[in-house]
């Protein structure tokens, strides 16, 4: 099967917008097609309005104590406490802390930050993909769209600084920030490569990696709390282009991983067109790939199997979702795949 072209995807993803969706979109400042799709997801206008309101609530920043430099995170908590920060431990991640109130200086300007004692995440959900992939020191890990390195450095921390992580990104400015973060945090087991991630199998060979993390470039429809412009700047064409790139990158990830290896696919989007649709398309096009159950770290929502005219494999119930109005964090989609 050939993945649909952008114009075909636009026709497939387009929806008829109801008056109720138009009214809510006008009230909350969203594109009306987005609101209609939320009703298609939840089937309840009350829940849709809860979601729209939740995007107005800010996120608590999260400090990830860098155990490569700070073996005892209580030491970091104590130091930040003296600077006026109020932190709350994250029950499912012993080295992460929500920032309940800011201190006398910015989180990015403390001596502790500059010394690489912690990394600042925009919210809790970004911690989940590396934890779920759970790389071991013996793994060869590919971070296929590494960005500025939040997940790259987290992977390295979970591996205790051993093994190897190859961090790939095409953006020159993101790679520059990634290298800076690696140096600041004292990460020594990461190789940075600036290139189009779709070329990885040609450079490293097929099946070279034992685990792959693909936190794919997306429309960011789950992080409207962080960037309010995402309420209105993305149209159906943008959604179609994102879906096409995500499909290509996920195929690349599965070509790059060895038999028996794992690929974690995630997006900071709640759009099924970027999430279940992409995974389902890959499952239809490739043999020997299965969806793996994800540990119940939190009370996840399951993946979607029906969305408007689209129907997906029942396997996708094993994927998980987070929502701002349910989990108090970014909207995220996570799916763990195993190459047989």
Q: 264-287: per-residue pLDDT in tens?
A: 999 999 999 999 999 999 999 999
pTM for this one?
0.96
Select from 25, 30, 33 the least CA-distant residue to 237: 33
| DSSP conformational letter for 56 | T
Shared domain for 22 and 112, answered yes or no, is no
Q: Which of 101, 121, 141 is the last residue of a domain?
A: 121
Average pLDDT over residues 72-92: 98
Based on the fold, state whether residues 269 and 139 are members of the same structural domain.
Answer: yes
Active site residue 268: yes
Contact criterion met (CB below 8 Å) for 195 and 203: yes
Q: pLDDT tens, 108-125? A: 999 999 999 999 999 999
Which residues 6+ apart lie within 8 Å of 48 measured at CB? 24, 35, 38, 39, 42
Domain count, the chain: 3
In a domain, 173, yes or no: yes
With H, G, I as helix, E, B as strand and everything else as coil, classify residue 279: helix
Would residue 1 count as lying in a domain?
no
The one catalytic residue among 65, 218, 268, 319:
268
- Residue 17, classed as helix, strand or coil, is coil
Question: What tens digit of pLDDT does each residue of 208-241 get?
Answer: 999 999 999 999 999 999 999 999 999 999 999 9
| Last residue of one domain, picked from the residues 121, 143, 171 | 121
Give the DSSP letter string of 243-270. Answer: HHHHHHHHHHHHHHEEEEEEEEEEES--
67 and 209 share a domain?
no
The predicted pLDDT at position 69 comes to 97
Residues 92 and 24 grouped into a single domain: no
Are 25 and 163 found together in one domain?
no
CATH number of the domain enclosing 136: 3.40.50.150
The pLDDT tens digits of the residues spanning 284-335 come to: 999 999 999 999 999 999 999 999 999 999 999 999 999 999 999 999 999 9
**Angle ∠(153,168,165) on CA atoms, nearest 5:** 45
Model confidence over 9-39: pLDDT tens digits? Answer: 999 999 999 999 999 999 999 999 999 999 9
Task: Say which CATH number the domain at 102 has.
Answer: 3.30.70.1170
pLDDT score for 255: 98
Whether 11 maps to a domain, the answer reads no
Both 194 and 169 in one domain: the answer is yes
**2: pLDDT confidence band, cut at 50, 70 and 90?**
confident
Decide if pLDDT at 1 tops 70: no
CB atoms within 10 A of CB 259: 9
44, 136: one domain = no
- Tokens 């974690």 appear where? 264
Domain extent at residue 44: 16-54
Kindly report the average pLDDT of the chain as a whole number: 97
Co-location of 214 and 326 in the same domain = yes
């Amino acid at each position: 099967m050939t993945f649909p072209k952008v114009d075909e995807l636009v026709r497939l993803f387009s929806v008829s917008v109801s008056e109720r969706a138009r009214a809510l979109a006008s009230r909350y400042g969203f594109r009306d097609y987005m609101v209609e799709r939320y009703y298609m997801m939840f089937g309840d206008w009350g829940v849709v309005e809860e979601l729209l309101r939740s995007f107005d609530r800010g996120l608590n920043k999260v400090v990830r104590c860098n155990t490569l430099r700070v073996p005892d995170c209580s030491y970091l908590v104590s130091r930040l406490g003296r600077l006026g920060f109020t932190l709350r431990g994250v029950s499912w991640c012993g080295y992460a802390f929500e920032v309940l109130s800011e201190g006398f200086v910015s989180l990015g300007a403390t001596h502790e930050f500059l010394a690489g004692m912690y990394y600042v995440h925009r919210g809790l959900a970004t911690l989940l993909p590396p934890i779920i992939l759970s790389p071991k020191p013996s793994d060869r890990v590919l971070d296929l769209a590494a960005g500025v390195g939040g997940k790259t450095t987290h992977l390295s921390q979970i591996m205790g600084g051993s093994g190897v992580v190859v961090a790939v990104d095409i953006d020159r400015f993101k790679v520059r920030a990634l290298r800076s973060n690696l140096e600041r945090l004292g990460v020594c087991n990461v190789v940075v490569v600036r290139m189009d991630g779709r070329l990885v199998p040609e450079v490293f060979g097929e099946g070279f990696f034992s685990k792959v993390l693909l936190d794919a470039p997306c429309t960011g429809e789950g992080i409207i709390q962080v960037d309010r412009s995402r309420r209105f700047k993305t149209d159906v064409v943008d959604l179609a282009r994102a879906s096409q790139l995500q499909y290509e990158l996920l195929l690349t990830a599965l070509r790059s991983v060895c038999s028996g290896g794992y690929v974690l696919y995630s997006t900071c989007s709640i759009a099924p067109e970027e999430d279940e649709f992409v995974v389902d398309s890959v499952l239809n096009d490739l043999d020997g790939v299965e969806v793996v159950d994800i540990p119940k770290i939190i009370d996840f929502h399951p993946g979607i199997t029906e969305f408007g005219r689209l129907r997906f494999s029942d396997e996708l119930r094993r994927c998980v979702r987070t929502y701002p109005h349910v989990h108090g964090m970014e909207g995220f989609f996570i799916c763990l795949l195993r190459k047989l």
